[in-house]
Amino acid sequence: MPVETLINNALSNTDRRLQQGKSVTPAFLFAAFLWYPMAQRMQQLQDEDGMHPLPALHEAANQVIAAQVRQTAIPRRFSTPIREIWELQLRLSRRQGKRADRLMEHPRFRAAYDLLVLRENSGENLDGLGEWWTRYQDSNPGNRMEMNKEASSDDAPKRRRRRRRPSKSKQQQPQPQND
């Protein structure tokens, strides 16, 4: 089951970081532990209420964290980074243009990237997104530009042009009459 695998992988990853003398934050562990309840609630909000992904994520995050706080005290200094890590999960899939470079500059990028890789390693099908980000971070600027172009062609949703209504000035012009 991906939930148990994700939790076990998050704990193993935390042990490894501690052994290497790296920093660890409870916010990352909470983000990993509560990812699937939040993702499930987010999907429900999208399906039942027709919410768009980002507002659904924010509402689901509020609900899941509020429910968890009844059992475990989660200070705001941790709940805010949890929300940021979750929000970045959505943003990491949009890599077009300069978005990838801007995302790497985000203070929570590393934690979000680690969660993405853990999700992928836990059996979640993310179409190689974690692997792409790993290669992107290890690439030189020239290769990154090429990867951005490939991502743009792979990921870019085809935008449909909206038809514009004729302006009011055109609608109000008298039509020539044939006499």
In tens digits, the chain (179 residues) has pLDDT values of 689 999 999 999 999 999 999 999 999 999 999 999 999 999 999 999 999 999 999 999 999 999 999 999 999 999 999 999 999 999 999 988 789 999 999 999 999 999 999 999 999 999 999 999 999 999 988 888 888 888 776 654 544 555 666 666 555 655 656 65
Question: What total of structural domains would you count in the chain?
Answer: 1
Tell me the C-alpha distance between 91 and 110, whole Å. 13
- Strand residue runs (E) in the chain: none
- Residue 179 inside a domain? The answer is no
- Residue 176 inside a domain? The answer is no
Tell me the C-alpha distance between 145 and 6, whole Å. 32
- Residue 171 inside a domain? The answer is no
- Residue 56 inside a domain? The answer is yes
Query: Do 114 and 92 touch, CB atoms closer than 8 A?
Result: no
- Residue 165 inside a domain? The answer is no
DSSP notation for 72-101: S---HHHHHHHHHHHHHHHHTT--TTTHHH
Question: Could you tell me the CATH number of the domain that includes residue 77?
Answer: 1.10.3090.10
Its domain, for residue 46, covers 2-155
